[in-house]
Amino acid sequence: MTFPSKISRTKKRLSDDRWAVIAVAVAFFGLLAVLTSGLRAVTLSGAYGVVPAEMPVVPAAIDDPGFYTYKEEPQNSLGPTTPAVVLTTDAFYFGDLQAFTSDFAKVRDKYVIRHIDGTPQLTTLVQTMDLWVTDRARHENIPINKALVFIPAGDIPMPIVVEVIAGLRKSPHFQRIIVGSGLL
């Protein structure tokens, strides 16, 4: 008597369709994940997807053992008069690179553009820096450097950093944005 009832229970268990429900649910959530990521990729702005930025490195000329006449030379170099922008949660600070390194204690050689309601004033920064760079070149005879050192604070979200880099690249004075850290 126990043998036929065991067979009956086994048949019931094998014919139970719970795996089909689980497979349909997993397939539905997988399709939902693929569609959501595809929709997100389509709706993202293309202007701030990828922005070119550089990390500073120390130039080291390496001799070429095959040709001996070729020697690497850096195209640009950073100096004390290279413009620098520091982004904090409160404001933009800009000035010469020397103002944020060796002359950090001096307050007269740094400029501040405060955020309004927590929103960085990027257009004001770009316009003010354009005026500052041209005025400095005209009155102080400092050549316009096409490189700019950008130093974001550690607690700034990456989308804001990317947006600021893209905004600074719109300026006709800056072709190279070099991302730095360690000053804050």
**What are the pLDDT digits (tens) for 56-102?**
666 666 666 666 666 666 666 778 888 889 998 888 998 888 887 77
The predicted model gives 131-158 an average pLDDT of 86
Say which CATH topology domain 83-179 has. Answer: Nucleotidyltransferase; domain 5 (3.30.420)
**How far are the Cα atoms of 97, 121, 124, 134, 173 from residue 131, in angstroms, in the given order?**
17, 16, 11, 5, 10
- For the chain, domain boundaries: 2-43, 83-179
Q: Whole-model pTM?
A: 0.62
Reduced DSSP (H G I as helix, E B as strand, rest coil) percent helix, strand, coil of the chain, to 5: 40, 15, 45
